[in-house]
């Protein structure tokens, strides 16, 4: 049982964007009910539910969802793991099934974010009329903007610049061209929050948020949900031929956190934990990066996409710039990356993102991606990272059943 | 000097302002915050060490502030003799012509205003070495 492959039986994502008329539970219910229908099952078949809603992490979105779509008494795990929350929900269901606790489960991620502005926690220090040291740094004031920045745009800008310092070859224009690729891809994805082809000049002339990322190079805050039904191989074999044919094999599911390295508490190191997760996933799946037909990676900012080419070992170490310049990651390249449009245009409803990336891969492996179908796709990789940090990598394969 | 207070406890003011770190006595890992234990080796013994005041910019960004009319600022990671330090690059024009990867910088102090008792908070930044 423990070594048997698990499968995605049903999966769905809502349109990402603005949903002013729907609340968090509406969006979660829409994705969850559609994922159940996609898999040809109901809440009565589910043995576990894992649900994430980062902005409402204390509210118990899993039970709120059950009260709308089916209260069956199953265990609920409400999970929160920054931008890796959705992948963590999936991982939780997988662990429950692998442990033999149940044979089928539902993972849901949902967020309402449109209009939320740029995200990132400052180190809050209460204002006082006399300077009083407090907190772990003995700070007399909020440090945000005074000793660097903890805001996401500034952090991920530095991540890309650090790569440029280490290996050379980066420029404002290079990062903007990565964004140009993803915005081009979004024009084929009707579920993307922003479907707008943008020229390199337009992207570079957008307002600068944190050099070298302009507004078009930052992920779009949006509302949305995604959900997946996961099933054991043993149970899948008892289901219909159609269900077996559309099921997608989970060849690897890995979640890591950042190990200690010099400087990792100064600027978050998003590299090592991603490389660790990728390495483990390739080993588990018995698949190499050269076998991947498409990749959905966490381009929360254009600068982040570049470093993850390297971290996911899609290119030789230090070779991400040459790899991108070769055209490899465009739709018609050897390793298409973010054919969904990526977070920069598809949108980034935080807890939904880690399941939506998997949905995109499944969509292609099932041959159901319409105009943006990567022809003959058999293997794909989905990656997310949440600062703090948590990294999820899933490798998925087309059903051979 | 008594009417000054450092912005953070790891900044030592005086004639030769510098940063201090908590160094793990077992493995040498350095931290700027209050510690419970070492994240690298789990040790619980730390010694205070002075950090080099000159270094090299390993990464930077130029943040456009939300408030219109406020100047952009330059968060950076500076390699100070092998120890990574975070801080803003100051005393130069905040644009990509004046800030470059690998540029040499030195620690300097930055005032952040006085409280109601007249005590001035002093922070730090890194300025280019010409
Ligand atoms: Zn140690």
Could A146 and B96 be called an inter-chain contact, meaning their C-beta atoms sit closer than 8 Å?
A: no
Q: Which of B19, B9, B15 is nearest to B55 (CA)?
A: B19
Q: How far is the C-alpha of A288 from the C-alpha of A292, rounded, in Å?
A: 7
Confidence of residue A3 (pLDDT cuts 50, 70, 90): low
Q: Are residues A228 and A256 both part of a single domain? A: no
Distance A271 CA to ligand 1 centre (A): 22
Q: How far is the C-alpha of A90 from the C-alpha of A65, rounded, in Å?
A: 16
Q: How far is the C-alpha of A110 from the C-alpha of A314, rounded, in Å?
A: 30
**For residue B18, what are the domain limits?**
4-128
CATH for A81? 3.40.47.10
Q: Are residues A343 and A292 both part of a single domain? A: yes
Is A346 within a domain? yes
Distance A365 CA to ligand 1 centre (A): 46
Interface of chain A against chain B, CB under 8 Å?
A: 128-131, 133, 136-141, 143, 145-149, 151, 153-154, 157-159, 161-162, 164-165, 172, 207-212, 260, 262-263, 265-267
Strand extents, DSSP E, A14-164: 48-52, 76-79, 104-111
- φ and ψ at A229, to 5 degrees? -100, 125
Selected residue with higher pLDDT from A129 and B45: B45
Task: Check whether A116 has a pLDDT greater than 90.
Answer: no
Number of domains in chain B: 1
Task: Check whether A124 has a pLDDT greater than 90.
Answer: no
Question: What ipTM is given for this predicted complex?
Answer: 0.93
With beta carbons less than 8 A apart as the criterion, state whether B49 and B85 touch.
no
The per-residue pLDDT for A118 is 55
Q: A131 vs chain B: nearest CA distance in angstroms?
A: 6
Q: Are residues A275 and A237 both part of a single domain? A: no
Nearest to B63 among A149, A162, A265 (CB): A149
Residues A162-190 have pLDDT tens digits of 999 999 999 999 999 999 999 999 999 99
Confidence of residue B69 (pLDDT cuts 50, 70, 90): confident
Nearest to B86 among A138, A148, A212 (CB): A148
What are the chain B neighbours of A128 within 8 Å (beta carbons)?
115
What are the chain B neighbours of A161 within 8 Å (beta carbons)?
59-61, 101
Q: Are residues A321 and A173 both part of a single domain? A: yes
Q: Are residues A36 and A111 both part of a single domain? A: yes
3-state secondary structure of A7: strand
Q: Are residues A274 and A380 both part of a single domain? A: yes
Q: Using a CB–CB cutoff of 8 Å, tell me whether B116 touches chain A.
A: yes
A301-329 exposure pattern, b = at least 16 Cβ within 10 A, e = fewer: bbbbbbbbbbbbbbbeeeebbebbeeebb
With beta carbons less than 8 A apart as the criterion, state whether A298 and A384 touch.
yes
**For residue A11, what are the domain limits?**
6-116+222-249
Confidence of residue A127 (pLDDT cuts 50, 70, 90): low
With beta carbons less than 8 A apart as the criterion, state whether B21 and B30 touch.
yes
Could A165 and B59 be called an inter-chain contact, meaning their C-beta atoms sit closer than 8 Å?
A: yes
Q: Using a CB–CB cutoff of 8 Å, tell me whether B73 touches chain A.
A: yes
- The enclosing H or E element of A32 equals helix A24-39
Nearest to B75 among A128, A148, A165 (CB): A148
Q: Are residues A311 and A191 both part of a single domain? A: yes
3-state secondary structure of A74: coil
Residues A333-342 have pLDDT tens digits of 999 999 999 9
Residues A22-66 have pLDDT tens digits of 999 999 999 999 999 999 999 999 999 999 999 998 999 999 999
Report CA A54 to chain centroid distance, whole Å. 13
Q: Are residues A311 and A211 both part of a single domain? A: yes
Q: Are residues A350 and A282 both part of a single domain? A: yes
Is A125 within a domain? no
Confidence of residue B130 (pLDDT cuts 50, 70, 90): confident
Distance A276 CA to ligand 1 centre (A): 22
Q: Which two tokens stand for residue A73?
A: 């008494």
Could B63 and A133 be called an inter-chain contact, meaning their C-beta atoms sit closer than 8 Å?
A: no
Number of domains in chain A: 2
Residues A262-279 have pLDDT tens digits of 999 999 999 999 999 999
């Amino acid at each position: 049982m423990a070594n048997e492959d698990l499968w995605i039986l049903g999966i769905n994502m809502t349109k990402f964007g603005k949903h002013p008329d729907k609340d968090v539970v509406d969006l979660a219910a829409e994705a969850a009910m559609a994922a159940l229908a996609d898999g040809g099952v109901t809440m009565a078949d589910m043995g576990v539910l894992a649900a994430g809603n980062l902005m409402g992490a204390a509210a118990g979105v899993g039970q709120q969802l059950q009260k709308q779509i089916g209260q069956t008494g199953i265990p609920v795990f409400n999970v929160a793991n920054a931008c890796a929350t959705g992948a963590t929900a999936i991982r939780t269901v997988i662990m429950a099934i692998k442990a033999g606790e149940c044979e089928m489960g539902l993972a849901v991620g949902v967020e309402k974010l449109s209009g939320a502005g740029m995200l990132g926690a400052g180190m809050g220090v209460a204002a006082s009329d006399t300077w009083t040291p407090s907190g772990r740094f003995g700070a007399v004031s909020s440090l945000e903007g005074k000793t660097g920045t903890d805001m996401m745009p500034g952090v991920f800008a530095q991540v890309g610049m650090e790569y440029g310092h280490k290996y050379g070859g980066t420029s404002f224009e290079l990062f903007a061209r990565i964004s140009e690729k993803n915005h081009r891809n979004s024009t084929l994805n009707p579920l993307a929050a922003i479907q707008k082809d943008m020229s390199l000049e337009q992207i570079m002339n957008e307002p600068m948020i944190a050099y070298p990322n302009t507004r078009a190079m930052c992920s779009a805050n949006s509302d949305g949900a995604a959900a997946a039904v996961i099933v054991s191989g043993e149970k899948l074999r008892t289901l219909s031929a159609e269900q077996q044919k559309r099921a997608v094999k989970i060849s690897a599911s890995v979640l890591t956190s950042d190990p200690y390295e010099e400087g990792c508490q100064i600027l978050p190191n998003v590299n090592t934990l991603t490389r660790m997760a990728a390495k483990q996933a390739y080993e588990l799946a018995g698949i190499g990066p050269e076998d991947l037909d498409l990749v959905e990676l966490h381009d929360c900012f254009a600068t982040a996409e570049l470093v993850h080419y390297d971290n996911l070992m899609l290119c030789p170490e230090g070779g991400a710039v040459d790899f991108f310049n070769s055209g490899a990651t465009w739709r018609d390249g050897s390793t298409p990356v973010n054919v969904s449009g990526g977070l920069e245009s598809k949108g980034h409803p935080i807890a939904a993102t880690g399941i939506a990336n998997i949905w995109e891969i499944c969509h292609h492996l099932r041959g159901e991606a319409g105009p943006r179908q990567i022809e003959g796709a058999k293997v794909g990789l989905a990656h997310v990272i949440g600062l703090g940090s948590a990294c999820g990598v899933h490798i998925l394969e087309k059903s051979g059943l | 000097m008594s009417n000054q207070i450092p912005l953070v406890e790891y900044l030592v003011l005086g004639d030769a302002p510098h940063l201090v770190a908590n160094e793990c006595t077992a493995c040498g890992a350095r931290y700027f915050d209050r510690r419970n234990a070492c994240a690298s080796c789990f040790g619980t013994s730390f010694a205070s060490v002075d950090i080099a005041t000159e270094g090299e910019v390993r990464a930077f960004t130029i943040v456009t502030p939300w408030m219109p009319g406020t100047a952009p600022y330059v968060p950076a990671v500076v390699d100070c003799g092998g120890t990574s330090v975070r801080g803003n690059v100051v005393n130069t024009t905040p644009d990509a012509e004046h800030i470059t990867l690998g540029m040499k910088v030195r620690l300097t102090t930055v005032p952040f205003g006085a409280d109601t008792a007249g005590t001035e908070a002093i922070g730090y930044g890194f300025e280019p070495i010409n």
